[in-house]
Structure 1
Amino acid sequence: MKHLADLLLLGDPRLYQTCEPVQEAELPLVREWVADLHNVMEEIRAKYQFGRGIAAPQLGIMKRLVYLNVTHPQIIINPELVMVSDDTDELWDDCMSFPNLLVRVRRHRSLTLSYRDEHWQTHTWNVTDWGVSELIQHEYDHLNGVLCTMRAIDDRSFQWRPTP
């Protein structure tokens, strides 16, 4: 079982790599990977009071796998952004790989995501909730080796997170 100490931190070269798709033959491993993602997210929530999603590469699992837990646990395998809205908005983004830093970024207000679930069923999800849309974009970026620090609006778009 992976723990908070296994979380890759800003500067680790693996965070900048593009992940490989999960293969159907790897589905038995997905359950173990998701258990690790869930465990680390719960430890982040306990220590830092935030965390709604985590991408596999943040634990050194270089696969296209995202675990969300906004209102319920959700496993997203091999996601593809099918459409993003022209409408965008700004937010102070956070990341478990640098939990004390906030980064001002611009994200699309809505999107359509195609993905597989843990049973290898294909889904298309039209996301119109701004909070979920920006979260999915953040996690999707991780799968492509992109951190929110790389999406900063400008050189003044960084601040320390207030201590809880």
Structure 2
Amino acid sequence: MPTRLPKTADDILKLGDPRLYLTCEPVEEADWELLVDWIAQLREAMQDVRRRYGFGRGIAAPQLGILKRLIYIEIEEPLVLIKPTVVTLSEERFTLWDDCMSFPNLLVEVERHRSITLSYLNLEGQQCETTFQDDRAELVQHEFDHLEGILCTMRARDARSFRWR
């Protein structure tokens, strides 16, 4: 069996790639044997973005062309969200400059919910529910949007909500 090449920032789909605008399919039972490899690929690509651009807390599977409902987050420790669904969104919102690994030098001013509760499966296949607040809520909303084929450019506050990093 050939050795898999590690994923880098160059493997992340860039703005304009039509796959970024597709709605992802659920992770199915047959996909579970691929999860370890997919998660390694997401981690490798995100770490390369961190080295090159100095940011990166999470990445969604479609950014590597894996059109499955899978998110990898790494802040203090890794968190894998398999088949996430939104349970609740707060009414309170806030505005921030968002960045994305699919266009690493562009910032987009967006409005996000102050908190979000997601239901998802963990790596053991257990159903979990977690509420994320503030900067983590923003991150989870950004990554969840990728699963829906939505980029933060599509959530820009107005036509002047773009700037170079």
- Check whether the contact 1:101–1:158 (CA below 8 A) recurs between aligned residues: yes
CA-CA distance at 1:24 after TM superposition? 2.1
Q: Deviations over 1:40-97 (max 9, x none)?
A: 0000000000000000000000000000001111110000011000000000000000
Unaligned 5+ runs, structure 1 = none
> Aligned residue pairs: how many?
160
Match of 1:108 among 93, 110, 113: 113
Q: Does 1:94 align with 2:91?
A: no
Displaced runs of 4+ in structure 1, greater than 4 A? none
Residue 9 of structure 1: SS of its match in structure 2? coil
Residue 99 of structure 1: SS of its match in structure 2? strand
Unaligned 5+ runs, structure 2 = 1-5
Distance 1:6 1:110 in 2: 31
Aligned to 2:3: none
Which structure has the highest strand share of the two?
Answer: 2
Normalised to the residue count of structure 2, the TM-score between the two structures is 0.95
- Check whether the contact 2:8–2:49 (CA below 8 A) recurs between aligned residues: no
- Check whether the contact 1:3–1:40 (CA below 8 A) recurs between aligned residues: yes
Aligned to 2:156: 152
Match of 1:62 among 49, 64, 67: 67
Match of 1:17 among 9, 17, 22: 22
Q: RMSD value over aligned CA atoms?
A: 0.7
